[in-house]
Amino acid sequence: MLSVRFWGARGSIASPGKETVEFGGNTSCLELRADGKLVIVDFGTGIRLLGESLLANDLKNGPINADIFVTHTHWDHLIGFPMFAPLFIPTSELRIYGPVMPEGFKVRNALKLMTDYPFWPVRLCEFAAKLTFIDILETTIDLGAGLTVTSKLLNHPVITLGYRFEYEGKKIVVVTDNEPFWNMFDDKSHPMYSAEADYEGCEVAETENKKLSDFFKDVDILVYDSAYTEAEYRNSKRNWGHTSYESAIENAKISGAKNLVIYHHEPSRTDEALRDLSVKYSKADSGLKIITAKEGMVLTV
Ligand SMILES: [Zn+2]
Ligand SMILES: [Zn+2]
Protein backbone atom coordinates (compact mmCIF):
# COMPACT_ATOMS: atom_id res chain seq x y z
CA MET A 1 0.00 0.00 0.00
CA LEU A 2 1.40 3.40 -1.04
CA SER A 3 -0.10 6.58 0.38
CA VAL A 4 0.45 10.33 0.39
CA ARG A 5 -0.68 12.81 3.03
CA PHE A 6 -0.69 16.54 2.33
CA TRP A 7 0.77 18.72 5.11
CA GLY A 8 1.15 21.79 2.92
CA ALA A 9 -0.22 22.46 -0.57
CA ARG A 10 0.45 26.18 -0.95
CA GLY A 11 3.11 27.71 -3.19
CA SER A 12 5.48 30.66 -2.86
CA ILE A 13 4.67 31.74 0.71
CA ALA A 14 2.58 30.52 3.61
CA SER A 15 -0.87 32.09 3.53
CA PRO A 16 -2.70 31.63 6.85
CA GLY A 17 -6.02 33.35 7.61
CA LYS A 18 -9.75 32.86 7.60
CA GLU A 19 -9.80 32.75 3.77
CA THR A 20 -7.54 29.68 3.57
CA VAL A 21 -8.83 27.46 6.37
CA GLU A 22 -10.29 24.78 4.12
CA PHE A 23 -7.36 24.10 1.77
CA GLY A 24 -4.71 25.33 4.19
CA GLY A 25 -1.98 27.94 4.06
CA ASN A 26 1.13 25.85 4.66
CA THR A 27 3.71 25.46 1.92
CA SER A 28 4.89 22.28 0.20
CA CYS A 29 5.24 19.19 2.37
CA LEU A 30 4.12 15.61 1.65
CA GLU A 31 4.33 12.45 3.74
CA LEU A 32 4.47 9.20 1.79
CA ARG A 33 4.14 5.78 3.35
CA ALA A 34 5.02 2.49 1.72
CA ASP A 35 3.86 0.16 4.46
CA GLY A 36 6.62 0.63 7.09
CA LYS A 37 8.75 3.13 5.20
CA LEU A 38 8.49 6.89 5.71
CA VAL A 39 9.29 9.31 2.89
CA ILE A 40 8.91 13.07 3.02
CA VAL A 41 8.91 15.53 0.13
CA ASP A 42 9.97 19.11 0.89
CA PHE A 43 10.53 21.12 4.05
CA GLY A 44 7.75 23.67 3.49
CA THR A 45 5.95 25.10 6.52
CA GLY A 46 3.69 22.04 6.58
CA ILE A 47 6.56 20.00 8.00
CA ARG A 48 6.11 21.49 11.47
CA LEU A 49 2.83 19.65 12.00
CA LEU A 50 4.21 16.51 10.33
CA GLY A 51 7.04 16.58 12.88
CA GLU A 52 4.58 16.83 15.74
CA SER A 53 2.56 13.96 14.29
CA LEU A 54 5.68 11.77 14.04
CA LEU A 55 6.54 12.45 17.67
CA ALA A 56 3.00 11.73 18.83
CA ASN A 57 2.35 8.62 16.74
CA ASP A 58 5.58 7.08 15.44
CA LEU A 59 8.20 7.67 18.11
CA LYS A 60 6.61 5.23 20.55
CA ASN A 61 7.26 2.46 17.99
CA GLY A 62 10.92 3.33 17.47
CA PRO A 63 13.23 6.13 16.32
CA ILE A 64 12.15 8.37 13.44
CA ASN A 65 13.84 7.10 10.29
CA ALA A 66 13.01 8.97 7.09
CA ASP A 67 14.13 9.57 3.53
CA ILE A 68 13.46 13.22 2.71
CA PHE A 69 13.43 14.48 -0.89
CA VAL A 70 13.84 18.19 -1.48
CA THR A 71 12.51 19.33 -4.85
CA HIS A 72 14.59 22.54 -4.89
CA THR A 73 15.99 25.26 -2.67
CA HIS A 74 13.34 27.99 -2.99
CA TRP A 75 12.19 29.22 0.42
CA ASP A 76 8.66 27.81 0.22
CA HIS A 77 10.16 24.30 -0.02
CA LEU A 78 12.78 24.71 2.75
CA ILE A 79 11.58 27.26 5.28
CA GLY A 80 9.97 24.76 7.68
CA PHE A 81 13.21 22.76 8.12
CA PRO A 82 14.41 24.15 11.49
CA MET A 83 10.96 23.60 13.05
CA PHE A 84 10.90 19.87 12.22
CA ALA A 85 10.75 18.33 15.70
CA PRO A 86 12.58 15.03 14.93
CA LEU A 87 15.73 17.14 14.35
CA PHE A 88 15.95 17.64 18.11
CA ILE A 89 15.91 13.91 18.93
CA PRO A 90 19.30 12.12 18.88
CA THR A 91 17.84 8.82 17.71
CA SER A 92 16.34 10.33 14.52
CA GLU A 93 17.98 9.27 11.28
CA LEU A 94 17.18 11.58 8.39
CA ARG A 95 18.58 11.10 4.91
CA ILE A 96 18.11 14.30 2.91
CA TYR A 97 18.25 14.02 -0.88
CA GLY A 98 18.21 17.01 -3.19
CA PRO A 99 19.56 18.58 -6.35
CA VAL A 100 23.03 20.01 -6.68
CA MET A 101 23.51 23.20 -8.71
CA PRO A 102 25.98 23.38 -11.61
CA GLU A 103 28.11 25.72 -9.48
CA GLY A 104 28.18 23.12 -6.69
CA PHE A 105 25.61 24.68 -4.35
CA LYS A 106 23.76 21.90 -2.51
CA VAL A 107 20.72 21.49 -0.26
CA ARG A 108 23.09 21.17 2.70
CA ASN A 109 24.55 24.60 1.83
CA ALA A 110 21.07 26.11 1.77
CA LEU A 111 20.05 24.58 5.11
CA LYS A 112 23.34 25.64 6.71
CA LEU A 113 22.87 29.19 5.42
CA MET A 114 19.30 29.48 6.70
CA THR A 115 20.26 28.22 10.17
CA ASP A 116 23.44 30.30 10.50
CA TYR A 117 23.78 32.71 13.42
CA PRO A 118 22.02 35.82 11.99
CA PHE A 119 18.98 33.84 10.84
CA TRP A 120 18.22 31.10 13.38
CA PRO A 121 19.17 30.22 16.98
CA VAL A 122 20.06 26.57 16.29
CA ARG A 123 22.80 25.95 13.75
CA LEU A 124 22.76 22.99 11.36
CA CYS A 125 25.61 21.31 13.26
CA GLU A 126 23.71 21.64 16.55
CA PHE A 127 20.66 19.55 15.64
CA ALA A 128 20.70 16.28 17.58
CA ALA A 129 19.45 14.03 14.77
CA LYS A 130 21.80 12.11 12.52
CA LEU A 131 21.62 13.89 9.17
CA THR A 132 22.97 12.42 5.95
CA PHE A 133 22.96 14.49 2.78
CA ILE A 134 22.79 12.82 -0.62
CA ASP A 135 23.27 15.07 -3.66
CA ILE A 136 21.47 13.87 -6.74
CA LEU A 137 20.32 14.85 -10.19
CA GLU A 138 18.56 12.36 -12.47
CA THR A 139 18.86 8.92 -10.92
CA THR A 140 17.00 5.91 -9.50
CA ILE A 141 17.48 4.94 -5.87
CA ASP A 142 16.42 1.74 -4.13
CA LEU A 143 15.08 2.82 -0.73
CA GLY A 144 14.67 -0.76 0.46
CA ALA A 145 11.61 -2.90 1.18
CA GLY A 146 10.59 -2.69 -2.47
CA LEU A 147 10.32 1.09 -2.63
CA THR A 148 12.22 2.98 -5.34
CA VAL A 149 12.43 6.62 -6.32
CA THR A 150 13.39 8.07 -9.69
CA SER A 151 14.25 11.75 -10.07
CA LYS A 152 13.78 13.95 -13.14
CA LEU A 153 14.99 17.48 -13.86
CA LEU A 154 12.16 19.97 -14.26
CA ASN A 155 11.89 23.43 -15.86
CA HIS A 156 12.13 26.06 -13.11
CA PRO A 157 14.37 29.09 -12.42
CA VAL A 158 16.62 26.94 -10.21
CA ILE A 159 17.68 23.28 -10.55
CA THR A 160 14.55 21.36 -9.53
CA LEU A 161 13.73 17.66 -9.38
CA GLY A 162 10.47 15.80 -9.81
CA TYR A 163 10.19 12.45 -8.02
CA ARG A 164 8.50 9.19 -8.98
CA PHE A 165 7.94 6.75 -6.11
CA GLU A 166 7.15 3.13 -7.01
CA TYR A 167 6.02 0.40 -4.68
CA GLU A 168 4.38 -2.94 -5.50
CA GLY A 169 3.47 -1.73 -9.00
CA LYS A 170 1.89 1.52 -7.76
CA LYS A 171 3.27 4.94 -8.64
CA ILE A 172 3.04 8.38 -7.08
CA VAL A 173 4.76 11.25 -8.91
CA VAL A 174 5.45 14.72 -7.52
CA VAL A 175 6.10 17.47 -10.08
CA THR A 176 6.50 20.83 -8.39
CA ASP A 177 7.63 23.45 -9.32
CA ASN A 178 7.62 23.22 -13.10
CA GLU A 179 6.76 25.15 -16.25
CA PRO A 180 6.14 23.41 -19.56
CA PHE A 181 9.00 23.93 -21.99
CA TRP A 182 8.06 26.41 -24.69
CA ASN A 183 9.71 27.75 -27.81
CA MET A 184 11.29 31.11 -26.97
CA PHE A 185 12.29 31.80 -30.58
CA ASP A 186 8.90 31.92 -32.29
CA ASP A 187 8.38 35.70 -32.30
CA LYS A 188 8.52 36.55 -36.02
CA SER A 189 8.37 40.28 -35.27
CA HIS A 190 11.60 40.16 -33.24
CA PRO A 191 14.53 41.85 -35.10
CA MET A 192 16.77 38.82 -34.35
CA TYR A 193 14.16 36.26 -35.49
CA SER A 194 15.65 33.21 -37.18
CA ALA A 195 13.58 30.49 -38.81
CA GLU A 196 16.26 27.95 -37.88
CA ALA A 197 16.23 28.94 -34.19
CA ASP A 198 12.41 28.89 -34.27
CA TYR A 199 12.44 25.33 -35.65
CA GLU A 200 15.05 24.11 -33.18
CA GLY A 201 13.30 25.82 -30.25
CA CYS A 202 10.09 24.05 -31.17
CA GLU A 203 11.86 20.68 -31.43
CA VAL A 204 13.59 21.07 -28.05
CA ALA A 205 10.37 22.11 -26.28
CA GLU A 206 8.45 19.15 -27.74
CA THR A 207 11.23 16.69 -26.86
CA GLU A 208 11.56 17.90 -23.26
CA ASN A 209 7.79 17.95 -22.69
CA LYS A 210 7.57 14.40 -24.04
CA LYS A 211 10.33 13.29 -21.64
CA LEU A 212 8.36 14.73 -18.76
CA SER A 213 5.07 13.09 -19.72
CA ASP A 214 6.96 9.78 -20.12
CA PHE A 215 8.26 10.28 -16.57
CA PHE A 216 4.72 10.08 -15.21
CA LYS A 217 3.26 7.65 -17.71
CA ASP A 218 0.36 5.61 -16.28
CA VAL A 219 0.94 7.02 -12.81
CA ASP A 220 -1.67 6.34 -10.14
CA ILE A 221 -1.37 9.72 -8.40
CA LEU A 222 0.19 12.74 -10.09
CA VAL A 223 0.81 15.66 -7.72
CA TYR A 224 1.31 18.58 -10.10
CA ASP A 225 2.15 22.25 -9.87
CA SER A 226 -1.00 24.08 -11.01
CA ALA A 227 -0.34 27.56 -9.68
CA TYR A 228 -2.28 29.51 -12.32
CA THR A 229 -5.14 29.30 -14.70
CA GLU A 230 -4.10 29.38 -18.37
CA ALA A 231 -5.46 32.94 -18.67
CA GLU A 232 -3.34 34.10 -15.71
CA TYR A 233 -0.31 32.31 -17.11
CA ARG A 234 -0.62 33.85 -20.56
CA ASN A 235 -1.41 37.30 -19.18
CA SER A 236 1.57 37.80 -16.87
CA LYS A 237 3.11 34.61 -15.47
CA ARG A 238 5.07 33.18 -18.36
CA ASN A 239 8.66 32.35 -17.39
CA TRP A 240 7.79 32.30 -13.67
CA GLY A 241 8.39 28.56 -13.64
CA HIS A 242 4.88 27.24 -13.04
CA THR A 243 2.12 25.34 -14.79
CA SER A 244 -1.50 26.23 -15.48
CA TYR A 245 -4.50 24.08 -14.56
CA GLU A 246 -5.18 23.49 -18.24
CA SER A 247 -1.64 22.39 -18.97
CA ALA A 248 -1.50 20.10 -15.93
CA ILE A 249 -4.78 18.45 -16.97
CA GLU A 250 -3.62 18.07 -20.56
CA ASN A 251 -0.31 16.50 -19.47
CA ALA A 252 -2.08 14.17 -17.05
CA LYS A 253 -4.38 13.01 -19.85
CA ILE A 254 -1.50 12.48 -22.29
CA SER A 255 0.38 10.39 -19.72
CA GLY A 256 -2.59 8.23 -18.76
CA ALA A 257 -2.53 9.37 -15.12
CA LYS A 258 -5.43 8.07 -13.04
CA ASN A 259 -5.57 10.86 -10.46
CA LEU A 260 -4.29 14.41 -10.88
CA VAL A 261 -3.76 16.40 -7.70
CA ILE A 262 -3.77 20.16 -8.25
CA TYR A 263 -0.90 21.43 -6.06
CA HIS A 264 1.19 24.52 -5.18
CA HIS A 265 -1.81 26.82 -4.90
CA GLU A 266 -1.19 30.46 -5.59
CA PRO A 267 -0.97 32.18 -2.15
CA SER A 268 -3.74 34.73 -2.75
CA ARG A 269 -6.19 32.02 -3.89
CA THR A 270 -8.96 31.87 -1.27
CA ASP A 271 -10.92 28.75 -0.30
CA GLU A 272 -13.84 30.06 -2.31
CA ALA A 273 -11.66 30.60 -5.38
CA LEU A 274 -10.11 27.14 -5.05
CA ARG A 275 -13.57 25.58 -4.67
CA ASP A 276 -14.79 27.39 -7.79
CA LEU A 277 -11.73 26.29 -9.78
CA SER A 278 -12.11 22.77 -8.45
CA VAL A 279 -15.71 22.60 -9.71
CA LYS A 280 -14.82 24.18 -13.05
CA TYR A 281 -11.83 21.95 -13.81
CA SER A 282 -13.23 18.71 -12.43
CA LYS A 283 -15.84 18.95 -15.17
CA ALA A 284 -13.16 19.37 -17.81
CA ASP A 285 -12.65 15.65 -18.20
CA SER A 286 -14.61 12.63 -17.06
CA GLY A 287 -11.91 9.95 -17.48
CA LEU A 288 -9.32 11.56 -15.26
CA LYS A 289 -10.03 12.19 -11.59
CA ILE A 290 -8.97 15.72 -10.68
CA ILE A 291 -8.48 16.50 -7.01
CA THR A 292 -7.52 19.82 -5.43
CA ALA A 293 -4.89 19.29 -2.72
CA LYS A 294 -5.84 20.34 0.76
CA GLU A 295 -4.08 19.97 4.07
CA GLY A 296 -4.87 16.73 5.88
CA MET A 297 -5.95 14.93 2.71
CA VAL A 298 -4.68 11.33 2.38
CA LEU A 299 -4.71 9.38 -0.89
CA THR A 300 -3.88 5.69 -1.02
CA VAL A 301 -3.22 3.34 -3.96
ZN1 LIG B 1 7.38 26.71 -4.85
ZN1 LIG C 1 10.20 27.22 -6.80
Q: Is the per-residue pLDDT at 45 higher than 80?
A: yes
CA of 197 from ligand 1 middle (Å) equals 31
CA of 225 from ligand 2 middle (Å) equals 10
Query: How is 243-291 classified by DSSP, letter by letter?
Result: -BHHHHHHHHHHHT-SEEEEESB-TT--HHHHHHHHHHHHTT-SSSEEE
CA of 26 from ligand 1 middle (Å) equals 11
Band of residue 292 on the pLDDT scale cut at 50, 70, 90: very high
Closest ligand, as measured to the CA of 240:
2
Closest ligand, as measured to the CA of 13:
1
Q: Is the per-residue pLDDT at 258 higher than 90?
A: yes
pLDDT in tens, 137-165: 999 999 999 999 999 999 999 999 999 99
pLDDT in tens, 109-129: 999 999 999 999 999 999 999
CA of 72 from ligand 2 middle (Å) equals 7
Band of residue 58 on the pLDDT scale cut at 50, 70, 90: very high
pLDDT at 168: 97
For residue 180, CA distances in Å to 176, 192, 244, 257 come to: 11, 24, 9, 17
pLDDT in tens, 191-240: 888 888 888 878 888 999 999 999 999 999 999 999 999 999 999 998 89
Closest ligand, as measured to the CA of 157:
2
Q: How many CA atoms lie within 13 A of 259 on its CB side?
A: 19
The stretch 269-277 carries a mean pLDDT of 97
pTM across the whole model = 0.96
CA of 62 from ligand 2 middle (Å) equals 34
CA of 42 from ligand 1 middle (Å) equals 10
CA of 176 from ligand 2 middle (Å) equals 8
Structure-model confidence comparison of residues 184 and 16, the more confident one: 16
pLDDT at 188: 84
CA of 10 from ligand 2 middle (Å) equals 11
Closest ligand, as measured to the CA of 178:
2
The stretch 30-56 carries a mean pLDDT of 97
CA of 176 from ligand 1 middle (Å) equals 7
In the chain, the percentage of residues whose pLDDT exceeds 90 is 88
Closest ligand, as measured to the CA of 264:
1
Residues near ion ligand 1 (CB < 5 Å) are 11, 76, 177
Closest ligand, as measured to the CA of 27:
1
CA of 194 from ligand 1 middle (Å) equals 34
Domain spans of the chain, in order of start: 2-300
pLDDT at 284: 58
Closest ligand, as measured to the CA of 179:
2
Band of residue 285 on the pLDDT scale cut at 50, 70, 90: low
CA of 91 from ligand 2 middle (Å) equals 32
2-300: CATH topology: Metallo-beta-lactamase; Chain A (3.60.15)
pLDDT at 286: 66
d(CA 27, CA 232): 21
Q: What's the mean per-residue pLDDT of the chain?
A: 95
d(CA 202, CA 182): 7
